[in-house]
Every structure is written in C-alpha cells, then in structure tokens.
Structure 1
Amino acid sequence: MATERTMMTAHEPEQMVWQKSSYSAGNGACVEVGLTSGEVRVRDTKDREGGELAFAAVQWRAFLSAVHRSG
C-alpha cells in the first residue's frame, strides 16, 4: 500500500499540541506528533523549524496497526 506524504512548513497559524514519542531514546533521536483536524503531523524534535510530514488520519491508523502487529 503506497502512502502519500506531504511536507509541511512549521509556520502555520493553527496552534497544535506536540507530544514526544514514548519510544524516544535519550540521545535526541526522536520525533514529535501533533494532531490537527483530520491530520497527524510528525516532526524531528531536534529540528522543529525544519518542516513536518502530514498524514491523513486513516493513513496514521494503518501505520500504527502495522507497528503493533510487528512488534
């Protein structure tokens, strides 16, 4: 299944609450996840101004399901 990803800029007017991944390591190699209306956005914790990946909610649920099945 191919997923479409869109690069977003970090400078959007919508206020978003970002949460660091619970699987983040102590070495700074982690991501943050933010929710918008109908989208899930992911960004690099070390480079918060560097942009975001945006996924449709259905795509994000499919990703999480695959991760849970694999591990």
Structure 2
Amino acid sequence: MTNHHSAPTPRLAEATWFKSSYSAGAENCVEAAPLPSGIAVRDSKDTSRTPLRYTTAQWTAFCTGIATGTL
C-alpha cells in the first residue's frame, strides 16, 4: 500500500479529525479525517507531523485485508 507524504493542503488543514471510539482514552492512538478522495491518518500524540493520506481504494483494500485476516 503506497502512502502519500506531501505537505498539508488547505483541505487537510480544515479536515475534521476523530479518534476511534475503541480508543477509550488511550494515549497511543491515531486520528483519521475523511477527505473528498480518501482518508488522512495522523499520530494523535504529534499532530504537527504530516499526516498520511490514502485514496478511497487504498483504504478499502486495507480495511478488507484487516477484516479478512490477510493483513
């Protein structure tokens, strides 16, 4: 799975970030934000780092791999 390391765009700067409800206040979490063409993921402990961005197809493949046990 390829990720896209590029500078934040205005859309990314305005993204609505959220943590999974499964995190239950844990400190070692990631945050995600829906984007028009996919999703962005970042470290919740260091939000100054550039988020990873994935296309919808990449994120779907990742989630399918987790759900089916192939990842």
Same fold (TM over 0.5): yes
Q: What corresponds to 1:5 in structure 2?
A: 3
List runs of 5+ in structure 1 lacking aligned partners.
none
The reply to whether residue 58 of structure 1 matches residue 49 of structure 2 is: no
Amino acid at match of 2:10: P
Instruction: Map residues 18-57 of structure 1 onto 2, 5 A cutoff.
Output: 18-24=17-23, 26-57=25-56
TM-score, normalising length: structure 2: 0.79
User: Do the aligned partners of residues 23 and 8 (structure 1) sit closer, same or farther apart at CA in structure 2, a change above 3 Å counting?
Assistant: farther
Q: Residue deviations 1:10-51, cap 9 Å, x none?
A: x43221111112343644111011111112110000001111
> Alignment RMSD, CA only?
1.7
Structure 2 residues without counterparts, runs of 5 or longer:
none
Segments of 4+ in structure 1 off by > 2 A?
A: 21-27
* SS class of match (1:6): coil
Question: Share of identical aligned residues, percent?
Answer: 33
Structure number with higher strand proportion: 1
Count of matched residue positions in the alignment of Structure 1 and Structure 2: 67
TM-score scaled by structure 1?
0.79
Greater helix proportion: 2
- Please say if 1:16 is aligned against 2:24: no
SS of the counterpart of 2:61? helix
Question: What's the offset of the Cα at 1:8?
Answer: 3.4
